[in-house]
Structure 1
Amino acid sequence: MLDKTNGVVSGNDCIVWLNGEILDDLKQFEWKVTLDFADVNYLNDPRTYKKYQGFSGEATLTFNKTRSRGATLLKDAIKSGTMPDIKIVTKLENKSTGKAERAVFTGITFNEFGASSEAKTVGEESLPFSFSDIDFPELM
């Protein structure tokens, strides 16, 4: 009997690139696509139907704090108003099965960056962002 646990992926098997650079200090990457629908109603019909209107995407990169990721990426943009062109690529691979999932995020707009410190806590830096497009060149 095949061990089902070998088919389960782990976050440890995820690689993320930002503009071609591997993010080797990345602790967590979370993303989601929200589908937007408009309500459609008709006279003499009590049901509400949904019409697809598009989507929006949001994500957060969370780093173990080893450098000033947000400030380095956005310091010039906040002064000039010209945002950098960003592309993020992820690969989640199950080494046991050889299956992988890749996602490519473009149209990225970083929403905020900053820093905080807390006693007896490992430093982190979170960079939340929105994206306007996502592609999946490979799926499991």
Structure 2
Amino acid sequence: MNKGNNVVSGNDLTVWINNEIWDDTKLAEYKLTGEFEDVTFLGDPRTYKKYLGFGGEGTLTLNKMHSRGASILAEAFKTGVFPDIKIVVKIANKSTGKAERAILTGVVFSEFGSSTEAKAVATEELPFTFSDYEMLELL
């Protein structure tokens, strides 16, 4: 068996925003980062860590086909009222039939705009944070 076939590819990624597939997605990344406090004790030279919680952040980069960021954020930035947003990210492996699927909730997009240059495809980058997640499938 070719082990290379077991490696997932971005070509098999699907992104849903509030149950709508965003087929203009070029790049999707998210990560969770643990928050820890240093703990020390008199007479002990070691530093320990106390887990305090986590934070989630990510970025969607889109091929510019729609005004995705503006449609979500233009009014929200003016009024301070932000919509509830849920992101589902699924990357599948056609060779094995397995997938990794995560639901990110409490999503807040923090900026919008676009990037355009001569003889290049225009893109839109949407950085975000999220407050909760659920792993529905694992590879």
Sort the TM-score into its range (normalised by shorter chain). over 0.9
Q: Tell me the SS of whatever aligns to 1:36.
A: strand
Alignment of 1:113-132 (within 5 A): 113-132=112-131
Q: Tell me the SS of whatever aligns to 1:12.
A: helix
Q: Per-residue displacement from partner, 1:44-67 (whole Å, max 9, x unpaired)?
A: 100000011111111000000011
Code of the residue aligned with 1:117 in structure 2: it is T
The residue number in structure 2 matching 1:106 is 105
Number of aligned positions between the proteins: 139
Aligned partners of 2:13, 2:119: CA distance in 1, in Å? 28
Task: Supply the RMSD in Å over aligned alpha carbons.
Answer: 0.9
Question: Alpha carbons of 1:6 and 1:116: their partners in 2 closer, same or farther (altered >3 Å)?
Answer: closer
Q: Tell me the SS of whatever aligns to 1:75.
A: helix
| Alignment gaps of 5+ in structure 1 | none
The alpha-carbon deviation at position 94 of structure 1 amounts to 0.3
The residue number in structure 2 matching 1:51 is 50
The residue number in structure 2 matching 1:137 is 136
Q: Tell me the SS of whatever aligns to 2:95.
A: coil
TM-score (norm: length of structure 2): 0.97
Q: Tell me the SS of whatever aligns to 1:122.
A: coil
Aligned partners of 1:72, 1:89: CA distance in 2, in Å? 19
The alpha-carbon deviation at position 3 of structure 1 amounts to 1.5
The alpha-carbon deviation at position 77 of structure 1 amounts to 1.1
The residue number in structure 2 matching 1:85 is 84
Aligned partners of 2:32, 2:15: CA distance in 1, in Å? 18
Identity of aligned residues (%): 61
Aligned partners of 1:102, 1:71: CA distance in 2, in Å? 27
The residue number in structure 2 matching 1:14 is 13
The residue number in structure 1 matching 2:65 is 66
The residue number in structure 2 matching 1:26 is 25
The alpha-carbon deviation at position 108 of structure 1 amounts to 0.8
Aligned 8 A contact 2:64 2:114 in 1: no
Aligned partners of 1:90, 1:114: CA distance in 2, in Å? 22
The alpha-carbon deviation at position 116 of structure 1 amounts to 3.1
Aligned partners of 1:119, 1:110: CA distance in 2, in Å? 27
Aligned partners of 2:99, 2:120: CA distance in 1, in Å? 34
Aligned partners of 2:37, 2:6: CA distance in 1, in Å? 38
